[in-house]
Amino acid sequence: MSTVGKGLEGIAIAESSISTVDGVNSKLMYRGYDVPELSARASFEEIVHLLWYGALPTQQQLDDLKARLASRRKLPDQLLDMIRVTPKDADPIDMLRTMVSALGMFDPLANDGSDEALFEKAATLTARFPSILAAFHRIGNGLEPLDPRPDLDHAANFLYMYHGKEPDKRTTRALETYLVLLADHEFNASTFAARMITSTLTDMYSAVTGAIGALKGPLHGGAPNGVYDMLIEIGTPDKANDWFENAMATKFRIMGIGHRVYKAMDPRATVLREHARELTLSTGNPVWYAISRQIELLALSHPYFQERKLFTNVDYYSVTVLTSLGFPVEMMTPIFAVSRVAGWTAHVIEQFRNNRLMRPRAEYVGPVNSVWQEIEDRTPGVIYIEDDMGNLKPFGDNEEETTT
């Protein structure tokens, strides 16, 4: 049995042809295409097709995919009823995780592992994430959910269903860029979770539900909450230096910085930084960009970050971009999921096609030869083991005491 580094660092656990990260040269590719370049050119639907089918779509294929997604955006009435009874102050990522799990109960194909059924479910899930978030938002604000607009593409329709008005092209392009950039990222924790769950040949809804649970964590897709708190706490750019000094003095972990794979700039952060700069000029909120940039420059020039190769990651400027698009902080991780569901479902399909149950081993460090004791003889929290001489001794901290 071989052992690996904590957190599976540097371990390739399976082959994949969907995406790859070059953390030294700040590169991210979807099926060999440079993602920052894709983010300037491609629609989210083109990326969905690329991730699922392994090639950019022809015009006919794109039209077909758009039609399939548009036809699935409307939620089942029973799901809307479930959203209506969900606590209004529920964390939207918890609500999304719950509704995705519930969606599986309304899908007759849920447990069908055929290729055709997998692509159908991938389309259903990808189409419905925005509808679920928009419905929760509107119901929570005493409004009726809006029906999806078949004439609008994925990003524009989400903005319409959420805000209740058709977005302008700049707003749509900014969200589309974000959705393209975050659609896949090799075996990040939530994608690995989806693949590991799939390896038991369970259903796609179970795998995506698990992925959402993993994404929620502050070390992964939950990081925007910490970035937001930082920006609110700092308040104005002139306070950034003091805040940073205090963070260093208290060993505070600055969210949105550092990455397990990128030991150089996350190329997505570079693109989002520019969108954050531009958007905050037009939305009249340049303060957040200024604070973000100031903290970023302080971190990138500080020996502590340089020695550990800690750079800005995708979550750092996402906060300013999504805030500029009118989304509250609690919607940021769910909107990360709106994008990443395309990648999760692509990986579930890839896993199904070339599967072997994932079942690692554990390096056992617990007691052996533990000796049963009647309840009246037990010491709280202590297991007694029998040593080679037949003596009883407590396992663990107080091992030096022995009793016969």
3-state secondary structure of 33: strand
3-state secondary structure of 390: coil
Give the list of residues 6+ apart from residue 94 with CB closer than 8 angstroms, or none: 216
By beta carbon distance, the residue nearest ligand SDX is 258
d(CA 309, CA 285): 31
Identify the H or E element spanning 34.
strand 33-34
Task: Rule CB under 6 A: say whether 47 interacts with ligand SDX.
Answer: no
R_g over Cα of the chain? 24
Q: Is the CB of 145 or the CB of 222 nearer to ligand SDX?
A: 222
Find the catalytic residue in 154, 259, 275, 347: 259
* Min separation Cβ 262 and ligand SDX, Å: 7
Identify the H or E element spanning 20.
strand 19-22
Please identify, among the stretches 68-76, 231-239, 256-264, 318-326, the one whose residues bind ligand SDX according to the rule CB under 6 A.
256-264
* Residue 403: strand pairing partners: 392
User: For ligand SDX, how many residues bind (rule: CB under 6 A)?
Assistant: 21
381's tokens? 């929290």
Strand 27-30 relative to strand 33-34: parallel, antiparallel, unpaired? antiparallel
Evaluate whether 48 touches 103 at the Cβ level (below 8 Å): no
* Min separation Cβ 254 and ligand SDX, Å: 4
Q: Is the CB of 66 or the CB of 340 nearer to ligand SDX?
A: 340
* Min separation Cβ 351 and ligand SDX, Å: 17
d(CA 31, CA 47): 10
Q: Which of 69, 254, 269, 295 binds ligand SDX (CB under 6 A)?
A: 254
Task: Rule CB under 6 A: say whether 338 interacts with ligand SDX.
Answer: no
Task: Rule CB under 6 A: say whether 164 interacts with ligand SDX.
Answer: no
How far lies 342's CA from each of 32, 91, 166, 339, in Å? Answer: 17, 22, 24, 6
x-or-dash pattern for ligand SDX, window 283-322, by CB under 6 A?
A: -------------------------x-x--xxx-------
How many other CB atoms sit within 10 Å of the CB of residue 46? 18
Task: Rule CB under 6 A: say whether 27 interacts with ligand SDX.
Answer: no
Task: Please indicate whether residue 315 is annotated as part of the active site.
Answer: yes
Site for ligand SDX in 218-247 (CB under 6 A): 219-221, 223
Find the catalytic residue in 107, 184, 266, 315: 315
Task: Rule CB under 6 A: say whether 253 interacts with ligand SDX.
Answer: yes
* Min separation Cβ 308 and ligand SDX, Å: 4
Task: Please indicate whether residue 168 is annotated as part of the active site.
Answer: no
Please identify, among the stretches 97-105, 151-159, 217-225, 366-374, the one whose residues bind ligand SDX according to the rule CB under 6 A.
217-225
The side-by-side arrangement of strands in the sheet containing 27-30 is 19-22, 27-30, 33-34
* Active-site residue list: 259, 315
Q: By CB under 6 A, name the binding residues for ligand SDX.
A: 7, 185, 188, 219-221, 223, 253-261, 308, 310, 313-315
